[in-house]
Amino acid sequence: MILGDARSGKLPDHITAFGRALRRAGVPMDSERIANAIIATELVGIEHREDLRAALETVLVSRQQDLAVFGEMFEAFFRNPELAQQLLAQMLPKAAKAHPVKRKARVQEALSVAGLKARTPNQGETELKFDAAMTASDQHRLRHADFAGLSASEFRLVEQLVRDIPLPLPPVRSRRERAAARGHRPNWARALQEARRHDGELLRVPMMSRRPQPLPLLILVDISGSMERYARLLLAFLHQATRGTPRTAFAFGTELTDLRAAFRHRDTDQMLELANAAIADFAGGTRLGASLAQLRTQHKRSLVGRRTVVLLITDGLDTGAPETLEEELQWLGRHSRRLLWLNPLLRFDGYAPLARGASVLHRHAHGMLAVHNLSRLEDLARSMAALLKCG
């Protein structure tokens, strides 16, 4: 097929519009993929809807995390004959749904920009107009908005804002010493040197104090499907907030992924790009026990003595055996200073860790902190400092 061929009718225009809508929703898209989608559509035809969906998904989607977005966009784009004009008019039913379809925020926004807003007889159009300047009420709402409920433009803005949130952790005294005016023991070598300069007179007693140093961090980020929106934002936040602190980062889902090479880069966007390329099980299940076992057998040197603070970022919805998780958390607790559970499910009032994995984790964690919006991230340093003072 030649692009722009009049014999193909309006089919290339419809597929092009669909590709642009996916790009607005955050799916990587270029002209080559759209051209391949047009060719695939002509080869498969539009008689069978599932065949058309499979063909477009094959040529337009290259990342696991974009499959859900593609599915919702396809359902919204090709559900109503008004949305695709004449493309699917012959194969789609005309019956309207009783309830409006719930879609991801970035899918809804991309459809709104494309002019493909879903209508129901009892519901008007809902259009979100986001002003980058933001009024005071907008700023207040954004600071307390759950990350999972952000639209695509809000998500991009929040991703930039989290990079400016500091995370100053209290330093601890190391075993290394230095000369100081006040300290825990006299510096006799320095005292003898000063006495020699003053004919044997010791005018003052120099002291030695322990050098302050930051606590090493072990960052474990859950990248399962339920943590999809939180994982990227928290990785961007911790990459900037822990700069200058000894840190080791891993992602876990069904297996453990080493992110140390990605975290060495100063640019956060490049870090996220490398992390996305390294993670093979993004938006899958969660097997925390098996991942911690892999950490113990392959990366146990990531824990520096008993001084490492472990930041475990997960909702606790583990699908592995609770006995394995219990055993691995006991080992992790013995080899770390503090195990802090950063749980986005604390956004719900009255949340209780009733799931099997969550209950095991709750017994071994020294503290559980909320990380579901900007306000909570701003208070995270103060909450962590209070928990670290106990140890």
Over residues 201-215, the pLDDT tens digits come to: 888 888 888 888 888
Query: Which carries the bigger pLDDT value, residue 124 or residue 65?
Result: 65
279, 301 contact by CB (below 8 A): no
Higher pLDDT among residues 110 and 215, named by residue: 215
Question: Was domain 164-168+214-388 assigned CATH 3.40.50.410?
Answer: yes
Query: When comparing pLDDT for 121 and 184, which is higher?
Result: 184
CB 271 within 8 A of CB 301: no
Give the N- to C-terminal CA distance of the chain in Å, as an integer. 69
pLDDT attached to residue 223 = 92
Residue 374 CA to residue 352 CA, distance in Å, equals 22
- Top-confidence residue, 80 or 243: 243
* φ/ψ bin of 290: left (φ > 0), alpha (ψ from -120 to 50), beta (otherwise): alpha
Highest mean pLDDT among 7-16, 119-128, 190-199, 340-349: 340-349
pLDDT at residue 121 is higher than 60: no
C-alpha–C-alpha distance, residues 238 and 379, integer Å: 14
pLDDT at 6 over 60: no
The whole-number pLDDT of residue 20 equals 84
pLDDT (0 to 100) of residue 273 = 92
Instruction: Report the pLDDT value the prediction gives residue 155, as an integer from 0 to 100.
Output: 87
pLDDT per position as a tens digit, 219-236 = 999 998 889 889 999 999
In a 13 Å sphere around the CA of 315, the CA atoms on its Cβ side amount to: 21
CA distance 271 to 268: 5
DSSP state of 311: E
pLDDT at residue 191, as a whole number: 83
B/e letters for 87-103, b = 16+ CB within 10 Å, e = fewer, are bbeeeeeeeeeeeeeeb
**Domain residues of the chain, as ranges?**
6-113, 164-168+214-388, 174-213
Calculate what percentage of the chain has a pLDDT beyond 90: 32
115 compared with 361, residue with greater pLDDT: 361
* Residue that has been written with the tokens 């599915």 in this structure: 71
pTM, rounded to two decimals: 0.64
